[in-house]
Structures are given as C-alpha cells and as structure tokens.
Amino acid sequence: MSERVWRNALIALSLIIAMVVAVVMRPTYRMADHGELVVIEEMIPSQFGDWKVEQSKTAQIINPQIKETLDKIYTQTLSRTYVNNKNQRVMLSIAYGPDQSDVTALHYPEVCYPAQGFQVESIAQAKLDTDFGDIRIKRLVTSNNTRSEPLIYWTTVGDKVVRGAREAKLAQLQYGFQGIVPDGIVFRVSSISSSAEEAFLLQKSFVSALVKSLSAEDRARVAGLH
C-alpha cells in the first residue's frame, strides 16, 4: 500500500475517532433540570434598602430583531427601573438561559448595545466589593445621540462568575468534561449619567444593597457569592 493511501487512511481514521469522541463526550446532564427551579422574577425583590421599583419607568427597550434573537437564548428576562429616596434611578436587566452550549451561548452588552445604536466608549475589568465578597465585573461607558449610559455587568456559567466570552467558553468546557450542560445568567445594571464615575458609585451601592437582600442560595446563583 502506498504512502499516500496510508496517509489518507490515517486521516479518515482520525476523523472517525474525533466524531466518536465528540458523541461520547457530549454533555447530557442539564443543571437547569436538577435542583431548585430558577424564577428570576421571584428571586429579585421589588423593594430592598431604600430602593423600590418605579412602575412608570422601564429599562431600555430592545428592538424586535434583537429581542427575537435573545428569546432563542434566554427563557427568562427581567427589566426593571429602581428609584431610591434621593430620586436616583438605576436600570436592572437580568437574562437567564438554561442551556449554555455553543448554539445558545450568552450574549454580552459589548455586542447588544452597538446593535441598538450605542457606541461603546470604554471597557474595563473591575471588582465590585460587597459584604459577602468581591464580584468580578466589567464596566462599560456607552452613549448614543441622546444620552450617556455607563453600565456594569457580570455573567455566570453554572456556579462560576466569568468575564467575557473566553472565560465563559473555558467554564463551559470544564462542565462539558464532566458531562454537564450549565445554565447561565447575564446581570446588568446601568444608569443615565454624564459622569461615569458617579454612575458606577451609584450602581455599586445598588448592587451591594440588592445582594444583601437575597437569600444565600439566590446570592450564590446570581453573583457567585456565599
């Protein structure tokens, strides 16, 4: 048998082995199907500390094309505007997806905001300290023709808080090697302000009060805090 035939045979065998491994290693255990049911609407209180939901305000409306795409990824979304006793407002947006696989991976504000006509002026990694530990977050400053909207966000894959698509993919692979399909959350807080630093301080105060109001289980679920 010629060297070329041997080489082609080895390539074909390698492809077959890769296909078999992919099938065998494909995760089948979905975290979302086991344990307590996640209901974001019930998990997040409408009032805590000196913050309460302002019924007349809503978070930024997603255009229909974007919403249609997100509806394929997330089974639950929550959008609320909270106001405190100083009449300061913060917009909260949470999206939950029970299946964090390649097809239904999380979408991030760096992608969603430009799709809605915003410019992303800066992106930075940071830590938000709370009474229960630090949350690894990203800070974005975004703007369009009518407003400046600084925001902070973080994402979870399973019980891991991740920053960005690379860390999310690594977490997904770690779960995949255990045969597990993780769920995931995108947690975003934003406010309309011409001062990014003032906005970030307000958002930190809001998040700190919110996580303090959650049960230990819910705090671990949405922020990886124990």
Name residues whose C-beta falls within 8 Å of residue 198's C-beta, 6 or more positions apart in sequence. none
How do beta strands 51-53 and 76-84 pair?
antiparallel
Quickly state the pLDDT bin for 22 (edges 50, 70, 90): very low
Q: Say what the pLDDT of residue 16 is.
A: 53
Nearest-angstrom CA–CA distance, 131 and 26: 39
Max mean pLDDT range (12-21, 37-46, 114-123):
114-123
Stronger pLDDT, 200 or 71, i.e. the higher one: 200
Stronger pLDDT, 181 or 86, i.e. the higher one: 86
Q: Say what the pLDDT of residue 214 is.
A: 95
Q: Say what the pLDDT of residue 206 is.
A: 98
Question: In terms of DSSP H, where are the helices of 101-187?
Answer: 109-115, 164-177
Share of the chain above pLDDT 70, in %: 72
Q: How many CB atoms are closer than 10 A to CB 107?
A: 19
Architecture of domain 31-223: 3-Layer(aba) Sandwich (3.40)
Stronger pLDDT, 129 or 11, i.e. the higher one: 129
Which of 224, 194, 188 is closest to 206 using CA atoms?
A: 188
Q: What is the pTM of this model?
A: 0.78
**Of 52-66, 132-146, 157-171, 187-201, which gets the smallest average pLDDT?**
52-66
How do beta strands 29-30 and 180-181 pair?
parallel
Q: Say what the pLDDT of residue 19 is.
A: 42
Average pLDDT over residues 180-202: 92
Average pLDDT over residues 136-146: 94
**Of 25-34, 115-124, 179-188, which gets the smallest average pLDDT?**
25-34
pLDDT in tens, 4-13: 666 666 666 5
Stronger pLDDT, 102 or 39, i.e. the higher one: 39
Under 8 Å between Cβ of 224 and 162: no
Under 8 Å between Cβ of 38 and 32: yes
Q: Say what the pLDDT of residue 170 is.
A: 83
Max mean pLDDT range (15-19, 105-109, 125-129):
125-129
Q: What HEC string does 176-213 produce?
A: HHCCEECCEEEEEEECCCCCHHHHHHHHHHHHHHHHHH
pLDDT in tens, 45-77: 999 999 999 987 554 544 444 555 555 556 788
User: Hey, where are the domains in the chain?
Assistant: 31-223
